[in-house]
Amino acid sequence: MGKRSLLFYDEMETPIGPITLLMTDEGLCRIDFGSVKDLRTLHASWSQRYFLCPEFKEDHIKVNDIKQQLKEYFNGERKQFSIKYRFNGTPFQQKVWQALYQDISYGEILSYKDIAKKIQAPKAIRAVGGAINKNPLSIIVPCHRVIGSNGSLVGYNGGMDKKKYLLQLEKAPIDIS
């Protein structure tokens, strides 16, 4: 039997509902909207794809720093996160997620087309959208700051109500009505 991969988890209540955090010793690897109980099936199938013999362990202390930073963010006291993280995805997805993390500042918005240009794949707008849809670190990797080329709010994995809330929290320069 192979070595077990330990995944630590905890959940927290936020102004947009419960979120669940998953991390390894290397860093945060998922933030999902919903409770641990509601996400068990998703986490089980996802972890099988990226980890050898995944084992889940609830650990409030391990994720405490991330929870504190998220609380500060929701209180309007934090504009940047300083966490260790681990992306699990294709090289293209990781490139897109890294661009979101590094290139979109608090309160700023960019289009899918802008992101495609930033990663030097200007014709890959749909592929960028697909990668953003699979973003494993919602809020911290700010996919909520990505809009359509025409300035419209378009899909968000957590739901449009959450996207609007996050953009309003950050006072993003967009009509959210």
Q: What is the Cα–Cα distance from 75 to 174, expressed in whole angstroms?
A: 21
What angle, rounded to 10 degrees, do the helices at 91-103 and 125-133 form? 80
Are 134 and 161 in contact by the 8 Å Cβ rule? The answer is no
Cα–Cα nearest to 140, from 41, 90, 74: 74
- 116 Cβ contact list (under 8 Å, min separation 6): 122, 123, 124, 125, 127, 128
Catalytic residue among 119, 143, 153, 167: 143
E-strand ranges in 63-153 read: 110-111, 146-147
User: Is there a catalytic annotation at residue 143?
Assistant: yes
**Active site (catalytic) residues:** 143
